[in-house]
Amino acid sequence: MSKRGLGKGLDALIPETEKSAKKSSDINEQEQVKEVIKEVVKEVIKEVETVDINKIEPNINQPRKAFDEDSMHELADSIRQHGLIEPLIVKKANEDFYSIIAGERRWRAARIAGLKDIPVIVKDYNNQQIMEIALIENLQREDLNPIEEAEAFKRLIDEFHLKQDEVAERVCKSRVAVTNSLRLLKLDERVRDMIIEDKIKSGHARALLAIENGDEQYNAAIKIFDEKLSVRETERLVKTIINAKEEKKKTEEGNENKQEELIFKKYEEKLKLVMGTKVNINRKSGGKGKIEIEYYSPDEFERIIEIMSNIN
């Protein structure tokens, strides 16, 4: 009598023929997946061309403006050792030249590495698509500094008439993130340069937006850099600056009001001397007000009218 499959798990209850069929089915599925992958790879390889590196030029509308020299030379060393593994995406600029859509950093490093020919995939994209692809590639690689990112968003809005939520959707960011990024362009140019140079962070910069005066913004940014302030400390600094400014404004306005009061008091005294009776000047907002001249009898009223009639 054959032993039963108790204690051997589910496989012991499945007949050998079924197990063989299942195994064969799994193998067939794996083979199908492999074949699909091979076909995809073939299609990608078909698109790859080898082009003279001197016939490739950078995209003048590339969102990224700053390239770190140290990391560029590290990439060049890797390219010398392993070659350029990832092709550039380019567009035909004219009969002889190509313009880079994505991969300018790799192109620059390949030039440093001394490559003569590099792999490319040629695509026929319009200007908006090129801008979006270049922006998305840099965002995914975290290659853009905050100002470059903000300027790229602004170009999509200004040149291609996209709304902020449309930009957000295309670059896979929230609308709030795009809005906050664009706000950085309102900063003083010197402060924007400090962000580009990584002397202060976006969080510091957003706090500085509450300061309207450019010189005050820049002086605060210098203090942040010199004293290595955190974002929370920066927020407190900005609040202190704004409060001090408001207090100064109140003091100045108070002094101006006192000075005006003294001037109008002098006018009242002059009018009293001319009219020979009590005169009040009541001032209102917006430069308005009224002059009150008091009289105590019909005769005094006639006298005041006569004085006013004789004034030339």
Active site residues: 104
End-to-end CA distance of the chain: 140
Q: For the purposes of burial, counting CB atoms within 10 Å of the CB of 41, is it exposed (0-12), middle (13-18) or buried (19 or more)? A: exposed
Please, are residues 236 and 224 in contact by the beta-carbon 8 Å criterion?
A: no
3-state DSSP call for residue 283? strand
Question: CB pairs under 8 A, 24+ apart, for 82-85?
Answer: 84/110, 84/115, 84/118, 84/119
Helix axes 231-275, 298-309, angle to 10 degrees: 100
Total H helices, total E strands in the chain: 12, 7
Are the beta carbons of 238 and 220 closer than 8 angstroms?
Answer: yes
Identify the three-state secondary structure at position 102. strand
